[in-house]
Amino acid sequence: MEEKQNTEIFLPVTFKIYKENKINLLKIQLKTINTEDRIKRLEKLKKLKSEQRRHLKTIIKEMKQEYSTLLKSLPGVEETNQAESISPPTSPQKISPEIEHHTDSKIDAELNKIQEKLNNLKL
């Protein structure tokens, strides 16, 4: 027969050491339980976050559709490219204290046409 090796170690333990070790074990168990609770809460928050993102995407999609239908229903309003309006300018703009007036704008052209028609009526 084979002899079994004795792997047991005898450590003399006083009550004070036993008590400290027990307290440490209980603290560790409490921390693991709290950690498990935190992990569960984080998983719930992760699910809630993904649901909120989906909901937000659907709301934005509906708003874009309503905006495009509104623009189509208004007479004389052109739909602008949204990518151009959102993207920042590629070259830095110069800041000048003077106000620049554009004479080639659509409004000025319309006003000039109206003024010419008024002048033609007065003749």
DSSP for 44-81, please give it.
Answer: HHHHHHHHHHHHHHHHHHHHHHHHHHHHHHSTT-PPPP
Domain that holds residue 34: 11-76
How many folded domains does the chain comprise? 1
1 occurs within a structural domain:
no
Whether residue 116 is predicted with pLDDT greater than 70 in this model: the reply is yes
* Positive or negative: CA dihedral 79, 81, 82, 88: negative
Confidence of residue 54 (pLDDT cuts 50, 70, 90): very high
64 occurs within a structural domain:
yes
Instruction: Give me the mean pLDDT over the 90-101 stretch.
Output: 54
28 occurs within a structural domain:
yes
Whether residue 3 is predicted with pLDDT greater than 80 in this model: the reply is no
117 occurs within a structural domain:
no
Average pLDDT, the chain: 79
87 occurs within a structural domain:
no
106 occurs within a structural domain:
no
Tokens coding 7: 């792997």
- What is the pLDDT at residue 58? 94
pTM: 0.42
50 occurs within a structural domain:
yes
27 occurs within a structural domain:
yes
Instruction: Give me the mean pLDDT over the 16-41 stretch.
Output: 92
